[in-house]
């Protein structure tokens, strides 16, 4: 059989699987969207709790068609570089809307990582590429959920808005235990069969839950705390979701908002992500797939980058207008970038050697580009920055103290980020 130059969808399994075995738990987990956020609490949230919006572009966005264009060079491609709202900084012309909010952003153009396969890169980037400690490290969302916990609103610390299926994703939590997994909302929708059966009264439901809690307490005495806590957790948050199905009501968004963000999946999901932040979720991950442009890269980028550009710019603008950007750390990232060299299929392949990450908001300088690649975009000039440096930078931007930079894994102290790396001072405010 001839070897295909194109990625098999199964190669993305790390970032797409792990659903229906725990679908019931996921349905419950989605329910952590507690009581209605009052204006007073919302105002307090804006001025205190740090939050994260993590936009994951699965497959690898091309830095040359987005954050680090190289027009009129050997590998630059057909798209122009356009000026942004910051004099001297240019993005690709495919980022027309985002270029107008560049004064809110910090772009790192000197990212150099190790893995050029999806199966290794997806997990390694989201875990921060820690040293091998003999345990599976948590994804960033789970780490933030553990270290910072829920916001003052008590809403779940880590939700994931994604295409396709949803559910509770305990694997993200690694050694922290399944309680810190992601609550995934498939296609941004609430779980099926969410409402209580009409034959079950609220009084009867309360009695059943009280009985469950008593039986759980007895069961937990002989079992691992991590597993029993997670089991109770999904039931507790399910009860909350039953009171807040309105959170997913797309009709609650104005027609103007839906138009600004876009009616495509990423636009709808990014708009829901904004609402999750407004309601008080600590860490919101929004997922987009199909960025693996081994073939026809320029037409693919013309479609994909523009679809990202529209809602991303709208969200940055909205967070700034609402006074939330001071406390919300925004990250747009993939598992790697794309090759400067264009292959025989007019595509760009995997390239971890020199790529870009865009950020903005809490704890970061704004309106900057840090680091650079050489004129052809093939390698980083001067200092390279691995994902471990970014994890340290993000934790510091979120106000994580030195005393919080270590996990206790059953008595085993473990650093929360690669201990040979440190924060990137040029990004921090």
Q: Rounded mean pLDDT of 403-415?
A: 94
Give the model's pLDDT for residue 28.
Answer: 34
**Structural tokens at position 114:** 């190790």
Q: Find the range with the poorest average confidence among 15-29, 34-48, 209-223.
A: 15-29
Instruction: List, in order of start, the domains of the chain with CATH numbers.
Output: 18-427 (3.40.720)
Rounded distance, CA 278 to CA 73, Å?
43
* Confidence category of residue 176, pLDDT binned at 50, 70, 90: very high
Rounded distance, CA 429 to CA 427, Å?
7
CA-to-CA dists, residue 28 to 23, 31, 38, 111, 279, angstroms: 9, 5, 24, 38, 18
* Confidence category of residue 95, pLDDT binned at 50, 70, 90: very high
Q: Find the range with the poorest average confidence among 176-185, 325-334, 337-346.
A: 176-185
Give the model's pLDDT for residue 212.
Answer: 80
Query: Mean of the per-residue pLDDT values for the chain?
Result: 87
Q: In the structure, how many helices (H) and strands (E) does the chain have?
A: 11, 17
Rounded distance, CA 6 to CA 8, Å?
6
Which ranges constitute the DSSP H helices of 138-201?
140-148
Which residue did the predictor score with more confidence, 128 or 17? 128
Q: How far is CA 146 from the centre of its chain?
A: 16
Give the model's pLDDT for residue 365.
Answer: 98
Give the model's pLDDT for residue 191.
Answer: 67
* Confidence category of residue 198, pLDDT binned at 50, 70, 90: confident
Cα-Cα-Cα-Cα torsion 76, 77, 80, 84, nearest 10 degrees, comes to -60
Give the model's pLDDT for residue 32.
Answer: 34
3 DSSP 8-state letter = P
Give the model's pLDDT for residue 103.
Answer: 98
> What percent of the chain lies above the pLDDT cut of 70?
86
Measured over the CA atoms of residue 142, residue 143, residue 144 and residue 150, the dihedral's sign is: positive
Give the model's pLDDT for residue 7.
Answer: 57
Which ranges constitute the DSSP H helices of 128-173?
140-148
Give the model's pLDDT for residue 192.
Answer: 67
Task: For 277, list phi and psi in degrees, rounded to 5.
Answer: -65, -45
Cβ pair 369, 89 in contact under 8 A: yes
pLDDT tens for 212-253 read 888 878 877 777 776 677 777 777 766 666 766 777 888 889
Q: Find the range with the poorest average confidence among 68-77, 237-246, 350-359.
A: 237-246
Cβ pair 53, 315 in contact under 8 A: yes
Q: Find the range with the poorest average confidence among 171-175, 222-226, 425-429.
A: 222-226
Rounded distance, CA 403 to CA 205, Å?
42
Which residue did the predictor score with more confidence, 33 or 65? 65
* Confidence category of residue 20, pLDDT binned at 50, 70, 90: very low
Give the model's pLDDT for residue 349.
Answer: 98
Q: Find the range with the poorest average confidence among 76-85, 94-103, 145-154, 319-328.
A: 145-154
**Region class of 347: left (phi > 0), else alpha (psi between -120 and 50), else beta:** beta
Give the model's pLDDT for residue 197.
Answer: 82
């Amino acid at each position: 059989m001839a070897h295909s130059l194109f990625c098999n969808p199964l190669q993305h399994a790390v970032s797409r699987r792990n659903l229906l075995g725990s679908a019931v738990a996921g349905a419950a987990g989605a329910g952590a969207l507690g009581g209605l956020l009052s204006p007073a609490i919302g105002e307090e949230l804006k001025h205190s709790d740090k939050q994260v919006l993590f936009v994951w572009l699965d497959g690898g966005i091309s830095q040359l068609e987005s954050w680090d264009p190289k027009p009129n060079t050997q590998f630059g491609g057909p798209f122009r570089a356009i000026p942004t709202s910051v004099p001297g900084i240019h993005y690709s012309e495919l980022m027309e809307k985002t270029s107008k909010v560049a004064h809110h952003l910090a772009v790192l153009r000197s990212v150099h990582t190790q893995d050029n396969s999806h199966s290794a890169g997806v997990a390694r980037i989201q875990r921060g590429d820690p040293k091998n400690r003999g345990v599976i490290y948590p994804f960033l969302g789970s780490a933030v959920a553990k270290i910072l916990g829920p916001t003052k609103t008590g809403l779940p610390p880590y939700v994931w808005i994604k295409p396709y299926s949803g559910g509770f994703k305990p694997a993200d939590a690694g050694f922290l235990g399944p309680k810190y997994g992601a609550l995934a909302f498939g296609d941004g929708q609430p779980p099926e069969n969410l409402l209580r059966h009409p034959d079950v009264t609220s009084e009867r439901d309360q009695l059943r839950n009280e009985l469950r809690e008593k039986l759980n307490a007895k069961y937990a005495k002989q079992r691992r705390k991590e597993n029993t806590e997670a089991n109770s957790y999904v039931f507790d948050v399910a009860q909350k979701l039953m009171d807040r199905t309105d959170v997913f009501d797309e009709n609650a968004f104005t027609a103007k908002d839906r138009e600004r963000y876009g009616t495509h999946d990423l636009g709808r999901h990014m708009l829901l992500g904004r609402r999750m932040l407004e309601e008080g979720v600590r860490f919101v991950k929004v997922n987009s797939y199909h960025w693996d442009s081994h073939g026809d890269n320029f037409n693919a980028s013309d479609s994909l980058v523009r679809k990202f550009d529209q809602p991303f710019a709208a969200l940055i603008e909205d967070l700034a207008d609402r006074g939330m950007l001071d406390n919300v750390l925004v990250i747009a990232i993939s598992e790697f970038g794309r090759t400067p060299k264009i292959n025989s299929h007019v595509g760009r392949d995997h390239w971890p050697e020199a790529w870009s990450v865009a950020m903005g908001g809490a704890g970061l300088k704004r309106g900057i580009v840090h680091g650079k690649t050489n004129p052809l975009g093939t390698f980083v000039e001067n200092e390279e920055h691995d994902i471990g440096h970014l994890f340290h930078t993000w934790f510091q931007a979120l106000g994580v103290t030195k005393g919080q930079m270590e996990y206790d894994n059953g008595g085993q102290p473990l650093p929360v980020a690669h201990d040979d790396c440190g924060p990137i001072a040029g990004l921090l405010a």
